[in-house]
Amino acid sequence: MVKREPKKVLLRLDPAVHDAIAKWAADDLRSINAQIEYALRMALKHVGREPK
């Protein structure tokens, strides 16, 4: 079985956006990183581009 390593990405965010994501993550009991991935997956699903 091939193990898929997560990709690492440097992401620059506006401080206000970071604060909003941090609060959202805390409310959902997720890390900021997990919350960003969750939001991206929701956006991909919304536009019909879910990963396989």
- Give me the pLDDT at residue 52, please: 82
- Give me the pLDDT at residue 1, please: 77
Question: Which sequence spans correspond to the domains of the chain?
Answer: 15-46
Q: How far apart (Å, rounded) are the C-alpha atoms in residues 51 and 20?
A: 26
Entry pTM? 0.85
- Structure-block tokens of residue 16: 């206000």
- Give me the pLDDT at residue 4, please: 87
- pLDDT per position as a tens digit, 1-51: 788 899 999 999 999 999 999 999 999 999 999 999 999 999 999 999 998
- Please name which of 31, 49, 45, 37 lies closest in space to residue 9, comparing C-alpha atoms: 37
DSSP element (H, E) containing 47 = none
Taking phi first (over 0 means left), then psi (-120 to 50 degrees means alpha), and beta for anything else, what does residue 41 get?
alpha
